[in-house]
Amino acid sequence: MGYFDYSREPKSDIAFVDMKSFYASVECVERGLNPLKTSLCVMSRQDNTSGVILASSPMFKKVFGKQNVSRAYDLPFDIHTRKFSFRNAIKQGLPTTPEYIAYIEEWAKDTLIVPPRMSLYIEKNIEIQHIFQDYASTEDILPYSIDEGFIDLTSSLNYFVKDKALTRRQKLDIVSAKIQKDIWRKTGIYSTIGMSNSNPLLAKLALDNEAKKTPTMRANWSYEDVETKVWAIPNMTDFWGIGRRTEKRLNKLGIYSIKDLANCNSDILKKEFGVVGMDLFFHANGIDESNVHKPYKAKSKGLGNSQILPRDYDRQWEIELVLREMAEQVAIRLRRAHKKTSRVSVHVGYSRKEEKRPLQGQMKIEPTNNTKELMNHVLSIFHSKYDSGSVRSIGVYYSGFVDESFGLISLFDDVEKIEKEERLQSAIDDIRNQFGFTMLQKANALQDASRVIARSKLVGGHSAGGLDGLK
């Protein structure tokens, strides 16, 4: 038995709604196809064998045996010829029988591989948010991601279901079914809903561990289900907040299940994990202090920009060009936040063919948000670590923020020169804010290796974290 008297815990009626294979479903609906019966994947750089698979339909996942495929080269067929890939099949331990080859090639021929359209997905998300607002006020709705969101229906249940003979659990299921139907009727998209008459955490666990497997695509986990359902989650990594590394650390403490976690000595968890350990203990017992109306806001620890390059960058000057562009992009975001950074970090990931560990470095600097200075720091870190090799991913991060007004000027600084550079930088920012980010660019932005113009046209989370919101 657990430690808690759940009658003393706060209760709310929560629906956690997840759009089934959202990006892929939107693409299917736009083409007049059934999202559940069509094999389709959304792939960036679909003309590239290293293309990134961002989303896939349920049928695509079923046929090709992948729940999460990250790259085109992970597929058992060549995306250009649609022929069976013996190399990939052998590498992944897949069968190579004539029957299986024919099966894969037949589905591969009918599989749609489409590029992402973030503007369209955002448009559909707004439509779905309007449906949510038919059932709850905006204060009762918490978007969790572009395809997921919490709805607190505590104050709405009795309005939509007036039958007093029904329990709140039954009413929550009825209203959730209505929401599912409205989403499908208005958008053609299927949704899965985790429900709880207790708290948001249990609704999320219900979605991840049961709702996706039920015919109705709904499931309810509440306080009375903690011991029978939460503790029975088969894999610890299926529990919210537990990854592979955390699981290993818990195993070292003799904790091999969620039930073990819920019934262990909380002092041991606090000693090993700190505050996070106590959160894990309470969550394993179904206790959640989060509130849809007052969502937790993490303190900003830094700003960064990372991207996977469209090809292997073999020349050092190409890598340096992208590093300078990224240093500038994050510097703009820094100035918009009215902050200066005192720490610069650089991450460089090598091509698969190099078989090298990623390059990482950082340095502490005098607080600044000057683009030129930050470019120099970024390149300095890179030069101190890089010797050779093809590069496929790059990241630039700034942290250790101070207010923009903070400044240190030595006796040896040219104050007039510094002020002149700041005025020039401010003028460039103003022009870009008014007329668009690409209005003012250096000539090297036209070079083939440059990524600044291409990425400025991307939308939302696919803008490399650096151009989001930059016109």
Active site residues: 148
Q: Is residue 381 a contact partner of residue 395, using CB atoms and an 8 Å limit? A: no
Amino acid at 419: E
Question: Could you tell me the two tokens for 187?
Answer: 């958008």
For residue 465, the surrounding DSSP H or E stretch is none
Question: Could you tell me the two tokens for 471?
Answer: 């016109």
Helix (H, G, I), strand (E, B) or coil at 92: helix
Q: Is residue 406 a contact partner of residue 441, using CB atoms and an 8 Å limit? A: no
Provide the 8-state DSSP code for 70: -
Q: Are strands 359-368 and 339-350 parallel, antiparallel or unpaired?
A: antiparallel
Strand order in the sheet with 302-313: 302-313, 391-403, 339-350, 359-368
Residue 321: name the closest of 419, 452, 197, 181 by CA.
452
Q: How far is CA 142 from CA 63, 283, 296, in A?
A: 34, 20, 11
CB count, 10 Å around CB of 117?
Answer: 16
Provide the 8-state DSSP code for 94: -
Q: How far is CA 112 from CA 28, 58, 71, 314, 435, in A?
A: 9, 13, 15, 32, 38
Give the chain's end-to-end CA distance (angstroms, integer): 57
Q: What are the φ/ψ torsions at residue 117 (nearest 5 degrees)?
A: -130, 85
